[in-house]
């Protein structure tokens, strides 16, 4: 092997070794911090769960009134079904609040390492954008779900079927779809972070656009009934979101290399 190539290979291997060592050290430090803060996280989780439980009645009532197709019925199948559903929803609130605390502790642990520089302003801006994007996705699902469920109801009613939904299954489906759209709307931020950090090239997203569309269609088929119209309702907005993400990445300076 020529000496210049050999030198480059050695430098690259040393760089990889340093990166792996730093990542390992950071991971161990994060695990240690979270272990020390376990009591705090449990308290935060308990506070979130306790605060969320009283609000479940209002949330359930609003979801049913806004999303349930006219003519459909909501029932409960077991004596504890509604109580357990409320408890699960309250636990989700506790987990979300604890997750915020975990992210904060991870940020503090990473920022303490001299090798890694993270500006507080960047973290705050990223957190704000992530929250806004997730909320936008949930809001989109909020307006889409009544139309989508009404279509499914009319399709089933045309066969003579009577729509009777279990409250647990119905609410779980609504929350699942809202969460999927909330996470999907994080795509512009995720792609921007990947490109600006150098982990993925902008042109890679362009090159694999067709594969991305296929993946979105498969994802839509997973969360919808097996008919083309339902899949289009879910897949088309995701495809548009992918194109918006490409524009955002390019606009924020991710069109290089």
The model's pLDDT over 149-182, given as tens digits with 9 standing for 90+, comes to 888 888 888 888 888 999 999 998 888 888 888 8
Average pLDDT over the chain reads 78
- Number of helices and strands (H, E) in the chain? 10, 2
The residue count for the chain: 257
3-state class (DSSP) for residue 197: coil
Compute CA distances 160 → 36, 55, 153, 224, 229, whole Å.
Answer: 59, 37, 11, 21, 21
Q: What is the pLDDT of residue 247?
A: 85
More confident residue, 84 or 228: 84
60-74, 79-93, 101-115, 233-247: which range is least confident on average?
A: 101-115
pLDDT at residue 39 tops 80: yes
Strand partners, 73: 164
Compute CA distances 228 → 67, 151, 201, 225, 257, whole Å.
Answer: 22, 13, 33, 9, 38
- Could you give the percent of the chain with pLDDT greater than 70? 76
- Could you give the percent of the chain with pLDDT greater than 90? 16
Average pLDDT for residues 210-223, to the nearest whole number?
78
90-99, 161-170, 206-215, 232-241: which range is least confident on average?
A: 232-241
CA distance linking residue 37 with residue 44, whole number of Å: 11
61-65, 106-110, 142-146, 243-247: which range is least confident on average?
A: 106-110
CA distance linking residue 63 with residue 72, whole number of Å: 14
């Amino acid at each position: 092997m020529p000496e210049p190539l050999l030198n480059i290979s050695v430098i690259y291997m040393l760089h990889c070794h340093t990166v792996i060592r730093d990542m390992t050290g950071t991971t161990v430090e994060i695990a240690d911090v979270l272990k020390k803060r376990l009591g705090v996280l449990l308290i935060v989780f308990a506070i979130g769960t306790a605060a969320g439980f009283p609000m479940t009645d209002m949330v359930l009532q609003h979801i049913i009134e806004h999303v349930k197709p006219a003519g459909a019925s909501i029932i409960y199948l077991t004596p504890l079904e509604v109580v357990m559903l409320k408890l699960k929803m309250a636990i989700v609130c506790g987990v979300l609040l604890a997750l915020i605390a975990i992210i904060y502790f991870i940020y503090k642990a990473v920022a303490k390492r001299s090798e890694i520089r993270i500006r507080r302003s960047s973290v705050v801006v990223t957190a704000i954008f992530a929250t806004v994007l997730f909320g936008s996705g949930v809001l989109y699902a909020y307006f889409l779900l009544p139309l989508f469920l009404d279509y499914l109801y009319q399709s089933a009613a045309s066969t003579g079927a009577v729509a009777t939904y279990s409250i647990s299954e119905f609410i779980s489906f609504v929350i699942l779809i809202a969460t999927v759209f909330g996470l999907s709307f994080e795509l512009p931020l995720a792609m921007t972070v990947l490109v600006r950090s150098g982990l993925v090239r902008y042109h890679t997203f362009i090159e694999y656009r067709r594969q991305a569309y296929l993946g979105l269609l498969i994802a839509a088929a997973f969360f919808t009934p097996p008919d083309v119209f339902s899949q289009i309702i879910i897949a088309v907005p995701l495809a548009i979101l992918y194109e918006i993400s490409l524009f955002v990445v390019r606009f924020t300076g991710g069109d290089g290399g």
